[in-house]
Copies of this chain bind each other. A is one copy, B any other.
Amino acid sequence: MNPDSFAMRPIGVVRSPYTDTAQIPKGPGATHEAEGVLEILPTLERGLTDIDGFSHLYVLWVFDRAAGYDLVGTPPTDRRPHGVFATRSPRRPNAIGLTVVRLVRREGSRLVVQGVDMLDGTPILDIKPYLSSVPPEQLRRGWLAEAERAAEASASDNNAA
């Protein structure tokens, strides 16, 4: 039998240029180029051994400033509501965020990375090597692809007007 709940403890904290969610690029075409630092607890530094060889990392973290969840909600990328598990909404049953970052360099227990979309001070739960990709020709992106096409068509209408 599974227990009702699992306790997760931060292994470190994100240093990012963002102090407010409004500053984080969102919506169609948003790119995450911001540099940040993953400050891992010095007591866990040995766990970073050999991480330098990987170009990209998964970061698992906590949406610690979100409270509660919605099973269905309208993301910033669309006008239509979608199920929470089909979005990256912070208001999820377990408020875990997942970001792929590029590892720029390691400085002891600090990882300098590019591509952060977390708020400054965000607790980190785990770091894993990014090992493989789904080939682009096999990837379907559901409602998001449709929303992006609609946004592009709308931008092109505005340009024409």
Q: Which of A17-25, A58-66, A150-158 contacts B (4 or more CB under 8 A)?
A: A58-66
Contacts of A160 in B (CB 8 A): none
A130 touches B126 (CB 8 A): no
B4 touches A9 (CB 8 A): yes
A44 touches B60 (CB 8 A): no
Contacts of A54 in B (CB 8 A): 86, 140-142
Known: A4-B9, A126-B93. A139 touches B55 (CB 8 A): yes
Which residues of A line the B interface, CB within 8 A? 2-11, 13, 40, 44, 46-56, 58, 60, 62, 64, 71-72, 81-88, 92-96, 98, 100, 102, 121, 123, 125-136, 138-145
